[in-house]
Amino acid sequence: MAIDITIRIAGEGGEGVISSGDFLMQSAASAGFEVMTFKSFPAEIKGGYALSQVRFSDDKILSQGDGFDIVVCFNEEAYQINKRLLTPGKVLVYDGPDEFEIEAHEGVACYAIPMSHIAKQELKAYISKNMVAMGAVCELFGFPVDSLRRSIHDKFIKKSQAIVDQNYAALEAGAAHVRDHYGKDPTYTFPEAREAKDVIIVEGNQAIALGAMAAGCRYLGAYPITPATSVAIAASKIFPKADGYVYQAEDEIAGVASTVGASFAGTKAMTCTSGPGIDLKSEMIGLAAMAEIPLVVADIQRGGPSTGMPTKHEQSDLFMCAHAVHGDTPRAVLAASNVEDCFYRTIDAFNLAEKYQMPVFLLSDAALSLQVEAIPRPDLSKIEIIDRLRYQSNGSEERYQRYQLTDSGISPMSHPGDPGGTYCATGLQHQENSAPRTSVEACITMDDKRWRKIKNIEDDIECTSQGPEKAKVGIISWGLTQNAVREAMARMLAEGMEVAALYPKLLYPVPTKAVEAFAARCDKLLLPEANYQGQFAQLIRAATGIDCIRQNIYRGEPFIPAEIVARVKELGA
Amino acid sequence: MAIDITIRIAGEGGEGVISSGDFLMQSAASAGFEVMTFKSFPAEIKGGYALSQVRFSDDKILSQGDGFDIVVCFNEEAYQINKRLLTPGKVLVYDGPDEFEIEAHEGVACYAIPMSHIAKQELKAYISKNMVAMGAVCELFGFPVDSLRRSIHDKFIKKSQAIVDQNYAALEAGAAHVRDHYGKDPTYTFPEAREAKDVIIVEGNQAIALGAMAAGCRYLGAYPITPATSVAIAASKIFPKADGYVYQAEDEIAGVASTVGASFAGTKAMTCTSGPGIDLKSEMIGLAAMAEIPLVVADIQRGGPSTGMPTKHEQSDLFMCAHAVHGDTPRAVLAASNVEDCFYRTIDAFNLAEKYQMPVFLLSDAALSLQVEAIPRPDLSKIEIIDRLRYQSNGSEERYQRYQLTDSGISPMSHPGDPGGTYCATGLQHQENSAPRTSVEACITMDDKRWRKIKNIEDDIECTSQGPEKAKVGIISWGLTQNAVREAMARMLAEGMEVAALYPKLLYPVPTKAVEAFAARCDKLLLPEANYQGQFAQLIRAATGIDCIRQNIYRGEPFIPAEIVARVKELGA
Amino acid sequence: MIQNILEEKLKPKAYSSDIPSRWCPGCGDFGVTNALARAFSTNQLDQERTVIVSGIGCSSRLPLWMGPYGFHTLHGRALPVAAGMKIAHPELDILVTMGDGDCFSIGGNHYPPVMRRNMDLTAIVMDNHTYGLTKNQCSPTSQVGYPGTLSPVGNVDEPMNVLGLAVANGATFVAQSFSGKPKHVMQMIEAGMKHRGFSFINVLSPCVTFNKLETFEYWKGRMEEVPEDHDTSDKIAAWKLSEQGMQGDALPMGILYQATRPTYEDQVAMVKEKMGSVPADQVDMEAIFDSIKPGAK
Amino acid sequence: MIQNILEEKLKPKAYSSDIPSRWCPGCGDFGVTNALARAFSTNQLDQERTVIVSGIGCSSRLPLWMGPYGFHTLHGRALPVAAGMKIAHPELDILVTMGDGDCFSIGGNHYPPVMRRNMDLTAIVMDNHTYGLTKNQCSPTSQVGYPGTLSPVGNVDEPMNVLGLAVANGATFVAQSFSGKPKHVMQMIEAGMKHRGFSFINVLSPCVTFNKLETFEYWKGRMEEVPEDHDTSDKIAAWKLSEQGMQGDALPMGILYQATRPTYEDQVAMVKEKMGSVPADQVDMEAIFDSIKPGAK
Ligand SMILES: Cc1ncc(C[n+]2csc(CCOP(=O)(O)OP(=O)(O)O)c2C)c(N)n1
Ligand SMILES: Cc1ncc(C[n+]2csc(CCOP(=O)(O)OP(=O)(O)O)c2C)c(N)n1
Ligand code: SF4
Ligand code: SF4
Ligand SMILES: [Mg+2]
Ligand SMILES: [Mg+2]
């Protein structure tokens, strides 16, 4: 029997909500299931409402889904927040019956597990409350407890066998309570573990670091900022294994400046940050554009504006990535929609940056940064890696022309150490040999050159679509929203609805040809995005004149498939 | 006889090119003429080609014109650069006959004045070369030499009478040479001086400082940067006279941060910079938007991208001002088109910033920053000044709600010192009482509130148009380009062409109603702007779907009326 | 009744806002908050004429929980925001509360000028030798070997001598305290607020969640009161004391340096006076216009 | 013929680019440029393995006129650009040339970390006590009263003690020179380049166009060689010398401080070694994937 179950764990930050989800995910992946997680918590270190959700399936998981099947509430606040979602068929597991009271929920199986009580009174370790809950969950739904125990063992054995045993005991206490009071839940049952697929378990931001490594990146300069820090942390664990380095700079400006310095000298390099950091880095990004230095900038978006909501989902940095930096500054913007994308789009970002010797933004976001998926192990032999066009001195006395005017606009680049390749890079307007120059001719030819490079950039990055050749409604989406759209599409196509979807990876320059071709297929266009202004919709309209119907949310949470389906239905597909 | 004469002075930077133009302008304004200047020079302190041009007229001057009538070349480079513009009817005055040779120019009156020779050999003061040239110019064209002498006296008497006399002597030597060799030029003659009008002589950036002062601004925090420094310099000379201050901060971030601090505490405040500075300030500008603190940011644009061309004209910071800063950040962008505009649009900027408690950009540019005009003396009694809505405690114990949800979205603001008004401003997402909050409801209501404020902002700033009710071609332009369009319009309307023009002052949010109404009047729309990407054209298309025909220049120089006329003719008006 | 209200005002509790504080239980910053409230209370501070400005970080949440006006600005930018506020409004009492990353790393370009200019601000750094809010990266004050999440084999940088640098940069009041001794913190804050000119108070404030080495216990045993005979007017002596603290086992507690020189606000007042300032709303714009009429000198 | 080329290479002129320099005639920065070329020449520097990084300002144009690789970056950002370059490419010789505004004002957050981390860079500041390129505003080193264009009654700030701060921030080589003594400048540059670790050389370099007070003449009479008996390993002595220079009439010329400690590049190498680094192109990605397979430990 094919399964597709989503378990949500909710409670106070610091009570093991997040780690419980991680254990479930790890063990399910080991047990051969597809997994995807969703997490949400406040910016404060401790306290506040936290949520960790794991979806398990036999088939490829497209999104976090519409909600949950089973919710485990560690405290009353969690129950209060989630109770309105307890529609018939769902299951509630909660810290009851004594900690707090619940209302009557028709058609909902409610299991009171005295997690706090058992942890405190029986186990004398309040900290193991979450393990009591997990034990109960395993017992209720037949979750593969062996693989859960293995995950727990591997995590805690570094600390001590005693801690492992304490956790085992908590698991068992939770399970025992279920056995004594309820027995198995009749609605949801996990099948037997099967053979693990050839996958790797990766978190969104970790996938960016892996993609960078695979693309040949050996330097990352950054300053910590939520939710981007974990890109740098992941990179700091692997780059130094291959003669690379992650530099924690004094601020964001120094982070990107050092990255530009490393790239100038010949090392593929990136920086990572979130919105406030891009603000600060933008001047240096402009220098990379002008001096034609490859640069990858990962922007892990969070809720804006300003400090906003550091741990919340939003897709509102697109305008900035497309248009920040003064002057006419060429750049490209890519966005990742899921964990696999984080890996491959990072490689795309490096390829574009290297090919065009310019800054390339890679957009992800707070929700995706934490999303964990089991993704197919990348086949490195199939991945194309592009390196910058290098200058080769022919030994003649001719002075090297760093900004040589070529048909493509791309000029061969030398690195310090290259014989005959000396020049002085500059952010001033310049002539071919890099000498500053502001003549009318220099301005025109150099501006033309820099823009000529990316005239056909759209052709470099495939823009996929889905659905019938003619559709009543066509959905254009980007970033994490594409996941909700993918799942919505699966449902709608299954229902026989005439709906199509376009999944751009390159957002800017807007893939005009793909958008226009797609628009020609559809009667109406819908553009759902998680921002107020309709940023991608506006960029598309600016580039093509095509005005999409907009569906904007700005509530700190990602789209769910159901609201896309609902909107498409309203539009009459 | 009505005059309209443009004199261009060209030579090596540091040889008095700029000061000669200033003297001519000053004396012409004293003599009752309308004047407008145009200047251009390299970013280096000394050397390089410099140009100073003064247009004199009886009537209001609309733009710098298409070129010059009389060119004074201080050296050979200046001659080489300008010689292709020596069409019949023009006049050349140059450092001849011995310094360099000139070609034959049909229909051009050429006057060789041995400026260097006279200065060096006769006057023993090479530095007075430019005064020799000015003496020759006065004599040739009957320029009011008395008022020139007066300007010279007033400038140099602070140094010494000897220096004044040296300059007088140089003037006389130049004049004598003309009398001895040529006599008066037959083509151009200045009329007698008339009574001076009730004008003030103001440079673009100075007008911004004056406008700020008139709007009630008493604080400017900034870091020096060409071409914006002179806004701060002008302000530093007047703000402290009225208990205000100009703070030279350690960097751009501190400049704007201190401005936000001053405004938070109740002082109307501004910062000024150029493109690279906006990049750096953008994070703090976002804070002002989120914390709802009035902020005026003057961006004196220069050639981009990056360090680009610090002293050159370009209109390429519009995308940045509209879309920089991460997140959905409300703001407005205004642009000034001439010196008078610099004064009044600055007041508009303060009024919008105060009314909506948000950041407002004022765009000017390198050419306009230096442009000097004699403008009608402002009538302060006719200027409306808007102050922020203030909180008044009613003495009750109720806690002040800084971000109170109102219909207009505007919430009364308290200042430190106000009884009962304590609160803590923050850039985090928050609730009405300013406590940080990331609930779904807080996000939605607060985002809605901040955007609701400016829903009708278009109605605050008049958007004028010109020309017949129905036109074959309609021109939309912004900033300095509007001047070239105004003069082009005068010529085209005089020719009876069916052409109209729209002159937006508020650029962003795009004045959609005005643009749509204008578009309805015109068969075709033309949008000339001095940038590569067609930034305003794209913003208009994004907002309205209207696609203007674009005319883009990016050569470091402003538009001239003739090229607008030519393009409109091509379009068949 | 009125009497009651007045008496209420005197209690430290009256200097809290109604926003509940959200630090980890046991966080060192609670000690600083309490000390601040007590210092306010002792001085019967008028909280409506006081502003607490902060950056971003756990510590920078402080003004949100406090009663006076507050501004929780951007990471690293508290000092320049406070500078503009003070220049435009010298009548306000302004405190600036920051974290070590906030003040010394990203904000590192902003403390030298306000120290050199001797702005009359009281700056308090809650120095926990780590980045709390972003979950444990090395800060400029972290010890060598500190396990920051971006330091895979531990911190490789020498920590910064923040007290010595404050002296070198021209602060006219430089002190250190420890949040485990709230009374001492309170004394330092009182002295700093009384001082005319820039006061810098570094408060060692344990991050109980991440910094497992420098706990309350750890620091308690290593704090040493500034010796009685220390000459607080002697820069070199202050520097030596600060360097000695860098050895790690005799962290000076107390005032290291104090001096008197004109504040920036004094200078601003002097500039205005020299330029013939009138009150803000009494300016004669017409006279300014007259000065730029054609032919005007 | 080959002989000729080799000999040519030895001359300072060979270390210039073909871009003509564009400073005002007489600018102090010419002296620095010449000293640099002579230092290169003396050491027969391989200019193809050398990079000169600068910010923005008159002085920062220097790399444009010089023969090695160059990077004329952004105002204030030369040091972090150089830092990344050096970390990724420790094999390069990197010099960083800046102006006083560039390094000490807008760039003020970037020199402390590279000094503290002891990166092996040679930094040269052409200190003219003003902002040349933007036409004369006060810089952090301007004298009190200096007529900067944004200081309507003259500079009101105490100038910054840049030598003392370099010592306090942990630079391991701190020297001062004067562009009126090009040979001395050359000696300092040579010594700085030879030094392993961060070398800071402040060169007083007159701005003949704007700074009418601190001319070549003015400074010539006020420079004083560091005393023979000065102990360059003594931080306190170095600090005292720097403070004395702040009095304005005995500006120290020579090496004030020099010390040996591990460079940042040493630390980076150590981190890599501890983590079992292999050459960049020999990394085993499959092993990394294996480590994150389900069930992998
Ligand atoms: C521009 C910017 N960069 C980075 C961040 C992320 N950030 C928030 S707090 C912080 C550092 C916190 O450390 P510290 O200042 O020592 O304060 P603590 O939390 O330890 O009290 C960082 C890096 C940010 N909010 N804004
Ligand atoms: C971000 C930024 N801010 C400001 C400027 C303008 N600017 C260019 S050079 C300079 C200062 C020059 O002074 P200094 O660094 O002392 O160099 P000098 O010209 O005196 O050699 C400034 C403020 C800029 N180019 N970029
Ligand atoms: S993480 Fe550390 S600094 Fe932050 S609140 Fe918790 S204990 Fe305090
Ligand atoms: S302005 Fe001053 S620093 Fe700049 S080139 Fe001229 S003399 Fe040198
Ligand atoms: Mg800290
Ligand atoms: Mg300088």
The predicted-structure confidence for B75-123, as pLDDT tens digits, reads as follows 999 999 999 999 999 999 999 899 999 999 999 999 999 999 999 999 9
| Per-residue tens of pLDDT for chain B, all 573 residues | 578 999 999 999 888 999 999 999 998 998 899 999 999 888 888 888 999 999 999 889 999 999 999 999 999 999 999 999 999 999 999 998 999 999 999 999 999 999 999 999 999 999 999 999 999 999 999 998 888 999 899 889 999 999 999 999 999 999 999 999 999 999 998 888 888 889 999 999 999 999 999 999 999 999 999 999 999 999 999 999 999 999 999 999 999 999 999 999 999 999 999 999 999 999 999 999 999 999 999 999 999 999 999 999 999 999 999 999 999 999 999 999 999 999 999 999 999 999 999 999 999 999 999 999 999 999 999 999 999 999 999 888 888 999 999 999 999 999 999 999 999 999 999 999 999 999 999 999 999 999 999 999 999 999 999 999 999 999 999 999 999 999 999 999 999 999 999 999 999 999 999 999 999 999 999 999 999 999 999 999 999 999 999 999 999 999 999 999 999 999 998
Ligand 3 atom showing the smallest separation from residue C99 Cα: 3
Amino acid present at A282: S
Question: Looking at residues A487-498, what average pLDDT do you find?
Answer: 97
Q: Do D292 and A254 touch (CB under 8 A)?
A: no
Verify whether ligand 1 is closer than 6 Å to residue A225 (CB atom).
Answer: yes
Question: Looking at residues D149-168, what average pLDDT do you find?
Answer: 98
Facing residue for C289 by CB, picked from B253, B377, B420: B377
Q: Å from A275 to nearest chain C CA?
A: 13
Ligand 4 atom showing the smallest separation from residue D211 Cα: 2
- For residue B258, which of B276, B227, B234, B232 has the smallest C-alpha distance? B232
Q: Could you tell me what percent of chain D has a pLDDT over 90?
A: 92
Give every CB contact of residue A76 below 8 A, 6+ residues apart in sequence. Answer: A99, A100
Give Dmax over CA atoms of chain B in angstroms: 89
Facing residue for B223 by CB, picked from D106, D132, D140: D106
Q: Beta strands of A451-538 (E only): which ranges?
A: 464-466, 471-476, 499-503, 506-508, 522-529
Does an H or E element contain D270, and which? helix D264-274
Sheet with B506-508, edge to edge strand ranges: B245-248, B219-222, B269-273, B295-301, B359-365, B332-335, B506-508
Q: How confident is the model at residue A333 (pLDDT cuts 50, 70, 90)?
A: very high
pTM of the model: 0.97
Establish if A30 touches chain D: CB-CB under 8 angstroms: yes
C-alpha neighbours within 13 Å on the C-beta side of residue B265: 28
Q: For residue A76, what pLDDT is reported?
A: 96
Chains contacting A with at least 3 CB pairs below 8 Å?
A: B, C, D
Verify whether ligand 3 is closer than 6 Å to residue C128 (CB atom).
Answer: yes
Does an H or E element contain A489, and which? helix A481-494
Q: For residue A479, what pLDDT is reported?
A: 98
Q: Å from B334 to nearest chain D CA?
A: 26
Establish if A10 touches chain D: CB-CB under 8 angstroms: no
Chain A residue numbers touching B443 (CB-CB < 8 A):
303, 309, 312, 554-556
The predicted-structure confidence for B238-258, as pLDDT tens digits, reads as follows 999 999 999 999 999 999 999
Q: For residue C9, what pLDDT is reported?
A: 60
Facing residue for B287 by CB, picked from C67, C74, C278: C74
Chains contacting D with at least 3 CB pairs below 8 Å?
A: A, B, C
The predicted-structure confidence for B148-170, as pLDDT tens digits, reads as follows 999 899 889 999 999 999 999 99
What is the D214 CA–ligand 4 centroid distance (Å)?
A: 13
Q: Do D150 and B233 touch (CB under 8 A)?
A: yes
Give every CB contact of residue A562 below 8 A, 6+ residues apart in sequence. Answer: A66, A488
The predicted-structure confidence for D195-223, as pLDDT tens digits, reads as follows 999 999 999 999 999 999 999 999 999 99
The CA distance from A400 to A402, in Å, is: 6
Domains and CATH numbers, chain B: 4-181 (3.40.920.10), 201-382 (3.40.50.970), 389-457 (no CATH), 462-570 (3.40.50.920)
Q: Do residues D150 and D237 make contact, with C-beta atoms less than 8 angstroms apart? A: no
Verify whether ligand 2 is closer than 6 Å to residue D52 (CB atom).
Answer: no
Verify whether ligand 3 is closer than 6 Å to residue C24 (CB atom).
Answer: yes
Q: Which of B251, B256, B258 to mutate to test the interface with D (most CBs of D within 10 A)?
A: B251
Q: What is the mean pLDDT of chain A?
A: 96
> Given 3.30.56.10, 2.60.40.10, 3.40.50.970, 3.30.200.20, which CATH number is that of D12-261?
3.40.50.970
Output Rg (C-alpha) for chain A, integer angstroms.
26
- Residue nearest atom 5 in ligand 3 by C-alpha distance: C23
Query: Residue A9, by phi and psi: left (phi above 0), alpha (psi -120 to 50) or beta?
Result: beta
Give every CB contact of residue C95 below 8 A, 6+ residues apart in sequence. Answer: C36, C50, C51, C52, C53, C121, C122, C123, C124, C193
The predicted-structure confidence for A427-437, as pLDDT tens digits, reads as follows 999 999 999 99
Ligand 3 atom showing the smallest separation from residue C28 Cα: 8
Ligand 4 atom showing the smallest separation from residue D24 Cα: 6
The predicted-structure confidence for A334-383, as pLDDT tens digits, reads as follows 999 999 999 999 999 999 999 999 999 999 999 999 999 999 999 999 99
Q: Do residues A502 and A463 make contact, with C-beta atoms less than 8 angstroms apart? A: yes
Q: For residue C13, what pLDDT is reported?
A: 87
Q: Å from A483 to nearest chain D CA?
A: 23
Does an H or E element contain B543, and which? helix B535-544
Average pLDDT of adjacent 10-residue blocks, chain C of 297 residues: 52 89 95 96 94 98 97 98 98 98 98 98 98 98 98 97 98 98 97 98 98 97 96 96 92 98 98 96 95 87
Predicted ipTM? 0.97
The CA distance from C184 to C274, in Å, is: 42
Q: End-to-end CA distance of chain A, in Å?
A: 32
Bridge partners for B35 per DSSP: B56
Does an H or E element contain D218, and which? helix D216-220
Which tokens belong to C152? 């895979």
What is the C209 CA–ligand 3 centroid distance (Å)?
A: 6
Verify whether ligand 4 is closer than 6 Å to residue D29 (CB atom).
Answer: yes
Q: Å from D42 to nearest chain C CA?
A: 34
Q: Å from D105 to nearest chain B CA?
A: 5
Q: End-to-end CA distance of chain D, in Å?
A: 65
Give every CB contact of residue B340 below 8 A, 6+ residues apart in sequence. Answer: B207, B373, B375, B376
Q: For residue B1, what pLDDT is reported?
A: 53
How far from chain centre, in Å, is Cα D77? 12
The CA distance from A25 to A29, in Å, is: 6
Residues 233-252 of C with CB under 8 A from D: 235-236, 239-240, 243
Main-chain phi, psi angles of B430, to 5 degrees: -145, 175
Sign, CA torsion D163/D164/D165/D166: positive
Q: Do D156 and C275 touch (CB under 8 A)?
A: no
Q: Do A269 and D88 touch (CB under 8 A)?
A: yes
What is the C40 CA–ligand 1 centroid distance (Å)?
A: 27
Neighbours of D287 (CB within 10 A): 9
Verify whether ligand 3 is closer than 6 Å to residue C104 (CB atom).
Answer: no
Verify whether ligand 2 is closer than 6 Å to residue D211 (CB atom).
Answer: no
Q: For residue B395, what pLDDT is reported?
A: 84
Q: Would the pLDDT of A96 be above 80?
A: yes
Amino acid present at B267: T
What is the D204 CA–ligand 6 centroid distance (Å)?
A: 10
Q: Could you tell me what percent of chain A has a pLDDT over 70?
A: 100
Q: For residue C249, what pLDDT is reported?
A: 85
Verify whether ligand 1 is closer than 6 Å to residue C102 (CB atom).
Answer: yes
Establish if A159 touches chain C: CB-CB under 8 angstroms: no
> Domain map of chain D by residue range?
12-261
Chain B residue numbers touching D142 (CB-CB < 8 A):
none
How does DSSP assign B325-377, residue by residue? Answer: SSSS---EEEE--SHHHHHHHHHHHHHHHHHHTSEEEEEEEHHHHH-EEEEEP
Q: Would the pLDDT of D66 be above 50?
A: yes
Q: For residue C3, what pLDDT is reported?
A: 47
Establish if A223 touches chain C: CB-CB under 8 angstroms: yes
Q: Å from A39 to nearest chain D CA?
A: 20
Q: What is the mean pLDDT of chain D?
A: 95
Q: Would the pLDDT of D9 be above 70?
A: no
Q: Would the pLDDT of D1 be above 50?
A: no
Q: How confident is the model at residue A422 (pLDDT cuts 50, 70, 90)?
A: very high
Pairing of strands A269-273, A245-248: unpaired
Give every CB contact of residue B422 below 8 A, 6+ residues apart in sequence. Answer: B400, B414, C17, C47, C48, C67, C68, C69, C70
The CA distance from A309 to B427, in Å, is: 9
The CA distance from A12 to A16, in Å, is: 8
Q: How confident is the model at residue D270 (pLDDT cuts 50, 70, 90)?
A: very high
